[in-house]
Structure 1
Amino acid sequence: MIHNKQTYHEYLKADQVALGISDPSFMSSLVSIISPNHIWKFQKTLRTLEYYHNCKNKGLNKIVYTYLRFKFKNISLKLGFSIPINVFGPGLAIVHYGTIVINSNAKVGKNCRIHACTNIGASGGSKKAPKLGDNIYIAPGAKIYGDIEIANNIAIGANAVVNKSFTEDSMMVAGNPAKAIKKIDITKIIKHI
């Protein structure tokens, strides 16, 4: 969780690396004006909102915080994302535009790569949501729900329905209901780690 300006910058840098965005140059700044990267814009707004929510939400900073919430809501609606603050660790990579719905009680570690049409939520009226470890790959259409835990270095296959815990690291999980398929090397899927 972002708890000071240093961790805010660390989260932004990790997200930038995860998305494969190079450091800004004059040419890349010019290109971003003409053709902006909306996912990067969303993630920067998410991290800035987290920073203001956690660290600077008093006094005159409440005005900035209120503006950031408005901006975040608008870009979320535009891209089809329903992602609350303080859920994802550093190194988040949202790969495509499209529906992504995340419960505010979910927790995801660092280096998560998530595709469109995914859902991480609670189940049956419970407020408890999944807790995912570090280095998680979530393929398109995956549904992860309930009071479950997912270990580190897990790849969740396309259209998988994950409603039970997987506590063994470095596994491919797929199917409906999801099953552990085989051992994997997550660095072949999430290239930046």
Structure 2
Amino acid sequence: MKKYFILYKSFLLFLTRFLLAYLLLTFVYESYLNQFDAKKFEVDGFTQIVAKQSKDVMIFFNFDSSIILNIKEPGINLFYNQRLMARIIEGCNGLSVIILFISFVIAFSGKIKQTILFIIGGSLLIHILNVFRIALLCVLMYYYPKQQHLLHGVLFPLFIYGVVFMLWIMWVNKFSKYAPKTAKS
């Protein structure tokens, strides 16, 4: 058994760091969410920010958009041309994707400064792309309502997870301690 631990030490260390980071960040996030009473339809602050920013992006591009609190569930209704196009709930705010991203970067950590800067930069990029994703999704669903499942269930998750995957590849190949070292001339 000891032979296998030695043989797979790198993988086991990666897995341990990933799971610890993921569990810790998920615990912190769940603790944050527990401050809000779902029975009273309270919406967490970050989801409200994402909804407002999505509306603001739509308005910036001259799309008639507004938001109001949902009175039937904890969420925010996003309207386009006075038509309800999305219910932005906690799962739409992108934080679970960011937690997954951060956990992976920590598992393949490099120098502390680079790791922190990459986590901040990557998290901001994911957040910004998520806000644009929601805005674009609303507009596309308005014009192509029959494509809702394809847009919401396939293309947009593929896009956001594709970006996260590309960030991971960039991290491992350029910044982590496993990145190939180039010879200095």
Q: TM-score range by the shorter chain?
A: under 0.3
Which structure exhibits the higher relative contact order, with contacts defined as CA atoms closer than 8 Å and separated by 6 or more residues?
2
TM-score by length of 1: 0.24
Higher strand share: 1
TM-score by length of 2: 0.24
Structure having the higher Rg: 2
Higher helix share: 2
